[in-house]
Chains A and B, each alone.
Chain A
Amino acid sequence: MRALDLCCAVLLTLWTATAAATPLYTVREGRTCDNCHSLPNDWVNPDAIPDRKCTLSCSGCHVDPGGGGLRTVSGVYFGRSTLPMWRAVDRPWADKKAYGEYIEPAHIALDAPSTQPADAASTQPADAASTQPADAASTPPSDTPSTRPTGGLAFGRPLDGGGAKMAFLDGRYGDLNADPLLRLGADVRLGAWNQGLLVFPMQGDVYAAVHPVEHLTLNTTVGLRGRIRGPLREDPDGQPRFGVRDVWLMTHEWPLNSYARVGRFLPQFGWRLDDHTAYTRRPFGLSQEDPANRVLGAEVGFNGNYPFANATVWSTGTRSAENPFEATEGRGGSVNAGWRDLGWQVGASGRVQRRPSDLGGDTNDASLQWGFNPWFYWPSLPLAYLGEVAMGTLQRPLSGHTTAQHAVYQQLSWLAVPGLTLHGRHEAYDPDHEVALDQVQRVSVGLEWVPMPHLTVRLDARAAATPVGQGGTDAFLQLHGWF
């Protein structure tokens, strides 16, 4: 079985290649417009706040408004033009010749500079860094095959022509199709852990989003099902290893980037870190790897320029891969709200769950999140800092007794050179406020290297300390490919 796992890992790695969606990017990348799209110069925010499209929320780069998974055209562009050390696609100023007809001529900057991340001196002014003009999208381009962008894993055009006022706009992402009928994507992660020199596939997901008409998108994710804990080996509950993760239908492209969706998804709560071992994620039932953390629910929200808020109600999810829409007796709801400015962010989350003990029991959770982007204010200081405090109650499954837990997460990142981020993290976790000597603290240092588009290498060295001594250290290497 181990040989099979390794073969799958190698095949999956060959099959596709990385850049991860992490809260770091939303904290750091408000510095300049052309991180996420081209032709920002001389453009200004529409006076009407609901008409402003640019946002630093997850929905700027991901189809899922909660983050993770399939990238939007802006996310793909960001991954190809801003993140890599080498082979980054040029910011396509020349596209004004090919796609200029889609954009009002007055908005085209003929000699606008490109701004790679380390080129802090060419930072855009704050006002210019925050929007696309609403009126530019109000006159959808004619669909002429000779000039329409066709790049990326995006195909066709919505059946009604698309081009909603709040949709992504062709011509601002080089050859990428901004508003397609069908968008495909994938994430593959291969991990190596020095505790026993384990090598194992962490993730193998394939995404598809169908956008049949403006304001409507159906998103699906299928992929390998990881185990709740530990590397992917035998699946203890006998479920298939490959199954549906997410299926949801969303109406969007409304003022303030507001949306509503129904289906199966991971509800929003706190920073959606890509490290599933983070103490603010897995102990709070927010790990992306556990199918039981998915819920069947309905969500409404908006990701404006710059406030955001959302609310979700749900029926607790099931681990069943054969029927991901199996109903359970558990119920829950969450709210999130905050402000994502160019140089700083704050947010708060609350969640209530009422479930049978075998589904996790009753919990009440709250979280505060923050981020600070010194780079926005001081061009010679490419740092980003983010953190979270999560706390909540939990119910012991056998006795039904309620106790409490809390976790702290802090991360400081330094973009040393384009494509290479060095970071340090500190985490603390008390899993049970009533029990002595059960807390743990963890610090880690590491790097995130994006040598070329679609490929990221992450390396972390971690050390944990417990009050009874005998902590531990480990090292973790991850290769992450995405399309």
Chain B
Amino acid sequence: MTLRDTSWRGGLVAVVFGFAGCGLGDASLDEVDPEAAPASPTYEAHIAPIMEDYCTACHGADSGGEGRGVRYDSCAQVVRNWRGLRETALDGRSMPPPTAYVLSSADRLTLERWWEGGHACP
């Protein structure tokens, strides 16, 4: 695996001039690497693990009052609460709490493709 020269130059620029860590990219993930996420995600194979890793600790069946009653621990719940998920995790970045977690671009692209592909539930 070779190292992309542009990546290192960009990183150097970030370190020298953008000490605060400015972002470097100028395109979305599906533009620069359409194969970064599965073309046809399924809930069981792709969406449920994302929910489990990032969401259900607070938005789950056993989380009590956490998550303010919004749940993402089943496919039906994800579909039902998709609008909130899109606003907070895809269009915005308030979820998962950015103070603790960073949802990867690949995971966001996976979620978007699953929804655009019909968001089928098992």
| Interfacial residues, chain A to chain B (CB-CB below 8 A) | 1-2, 193, 195-198, 228-231, 233, 236, 277, 279, 283, 354, 361-362, 364, 389, 391, 393, 395-404, 406-408, 426-442, 444, 462-474
Select B11's contact among A433, A435, A442, A444, beta carbons within 8 Å.
A433
CB distance from B99 to the nearest CB of A (A): 4
Among A283, A389, A403, A442, which residue has its beta carbon within 8 angstroms of that of B99?
A442
What are 19 A-B interface contacts by the 8 Å CB criterion?
A2-B63, A196-B58, A197-B66, A236-B52, A361-B1, A362-B1, A389-B15, A396-B33, A398-B36, A399-B33, A404-B4, A430-B14, A431-B105, A436-B23, A438-B105, A440-B98, A463-B99, A469-B92, A470-B94
Q: Which stretch (B24-32, B77-85, B114-122) binds chain A?
A: B24-32
- Complex: A434 Cα to B106 Cα, angstroms: 12
Per-residue contact bits, chain B 69-108, to A (CB 8 Å; 1 contact, 0 not): 0000000000000000000100111110111111011100
Residues of chain B within 8 A (CB-CB) of A436 are 23, 25-28
Residues in B whose Cβ lies below 8 Å from that of A435? 25, 27-29, 32, 105
Complex Cα–Cα for A429 and B98 (A): 11
Bound together, the chains give a CA A468 to CA B38 distance in angstroms of 25
Least Cβ–Cβ distance between B90 and chain A, in angstroms:
10
**Residue contact A470 to B92, C-beta cutoff 8 Å:** yes
Q: Which of A399, A430, A433 has the most CB of B within 10 A?
A: A433
Q: Indicate whether B20 reaches chain A with its CB closer than 8 angstroms.
A: yes
Residues of B within 8 A of A463 (CB): 99
Whether A441 contacts B15 in the complex (CB less than 8 A), given A230-B54, A433-B25, A464-B98, comes out as no
Distance in angstroms from B47 CB to nearest chain A CB is 14
Q: How far is the CA of A432 from the CA of B37 in the complex (A)?
A: 14
- Beta-carbon contact of A403 and B1 below 8 Å: no
Among B35, B52, B57, B105, point to the contact of A231 (Cβ < 8 A).
B57
Which one of B1, B6, B8, B62 has the highest number of Cβ atoms from chain A below 10 Å of its Cβ?
B1
How far is it, in angstroms, between the C-alpha of A277 and the C-alpha of B65 when the chains are bound? 24
Q: Which residues of A contact B1 (CB under 8 A)?
A: 354, 361-362, 393, 395, 400, 402
* Residue ID in chain B nearest A474 by CB atoms: B99
Q: Which residue of chain B lies nearest to A395 when distances are taken between CB atoms in the complex? A: B1
Flag if A393 contacts B3 (CB, 8 Å).
yes
- A196-B63, A408-B21, A430-B23 known; A468 and B91 CB under 8 Å? yes
| Interface size classification for chain B | 35 or more
Q: List chain A residues, Cβ under 8 A from B27.
A: 434-436
Given contacts A398-B38, A403-B33, A462-B99, 16 further A-B contacts (CB under 8 A): A196-B66, A230-B54, A236-B49, A361-B1, A396-B35, A402-B1, A402-B7, A408-B20, A434-B27, A434-B32, A440-B98, A463-B99, A466-B93, A469-B93, A472-B95, A474-B100
CB pair A396–B21 under 8 Å, yes or no, is no
B residues near A (Cβ < 8 Å) are: 1-4, 6-8, 10-11, 14-15, 19-29, 32-33, 35-38, 49, 52-54, 57-58, 62-67, 88, 91-95, 97-102, 104-106
A432 CA to B36 CA, complexed, in Å: 12
Known: A196-B58, A403-B4, A431-B104. A398 touches B37 (CB 8 A): yes
Given A398-B38, A470-B88, the answer on whether A433 and B10 have CB atoms closer than 8 Å is yes
Nearest-Cβ distance from residue B71 to partner chain A, whole angstroms: 12
| 5 A-B pairs closest in CB distance | A428-B21, A196-B66, A470-B92, A404-B7, A439-B23
Interfacial chain A residues near B19, Cβ < 8 Å: 408
A residues in contact with B6, CB < 8 Å: 433
Residues of A within 8 A of B20 (CB): 408, 426, 428, 441
Q: With contacts defined as CB atoms under 8 Å apart, how many contacts are there between chain A and chain B in the complex?
A: 183
Chain A residues with CB under 8 A of B11: 391, 404, 406, 433
Q: Are A437 and B35 in contact (CB under 8 A)?
A: no
- State whether A229 and B29 are in contact (beta carbons under 8 Å apart), knowing that A398-B38, A404-B7, A474-B99 are contacts in the complex: no
B25:A434 contact, CB within 8 angstroms: yes
**Known interface pairs A196-B65, A403-B4, A439-B22; A431-B102 also in contact (CB < 8 Å):** yes
A464 and chain B: residue at smallest CB distance:
B98
Query: Which B residues lie within 8 Å of A391 (CB)?
Result: 11, 14-15
CA distance A473 to B14 in the complex (A): 25
Say yes or no: B98 contacts A393, CB within 8 Å.
Answer: no
Q: Is the CB of B102 within 8 A of A283?
A: yes
By the criterion CB–CB under 8 Å, are A433 and B91 in contact? no
Contacts of A197 in B (CB 8 A): 65-66
Which residues of the partner chain B approach A402 to less than 8 Å between Cβ atoms? Answer: 1-4, 7
**Bound state CA distance, A437 and B90, in angstroms?**
11
Q: In the complex the two chains form, is B99's CB within 8 Å of A393's CB? A: no
* Shortest beta-carbon distance from A304 to chain B in Å: 28
Q: How far is the CA of A441 from the CA of B33 in the complex (A)?
A: 24
B33 touches A439 (CB 8 A): no
Please measure, in the bound complex, the distance between the C-alpha atom of A398 and the C-alpha atom of B46, giving whole angstroms. 12
Give bound CA distance, A401 to B34, whole Å. 10
Question: In the bound complex, do residue B67 and residue A440 qualify as a contact, i.e. CB atoms below 8 Å apart?
Answer: no
Tell me, in angstroms, the Cα distance from A401 to B7 when the chains sit together: 12
* Inter-chain contacts of A236 with B (CB < 8 A): 49, 52-53
The reply to whether B33 and A401 contact each other, CB–CB distance below 8 Å, is: yes
Query: Given known contacts A395-B1, A468-B91, is B58 in contact with A429 (CB within 8 Å)?
Result: no
Bound complex: CA of A236 vs CA of B101, how far in Å?
Answer: 18
How many Å lie between the Cα of A366 and that of B57 in the bound state? 33
Q: A195-B97, A196-B58, A431-B105 are in contact. Are A441 and B21 (CB under 8 A)?
A: yes
When the two chains form their complex, are residues A401 and B36 in contact, meaning their CB atoms are under 8 A apart? yes
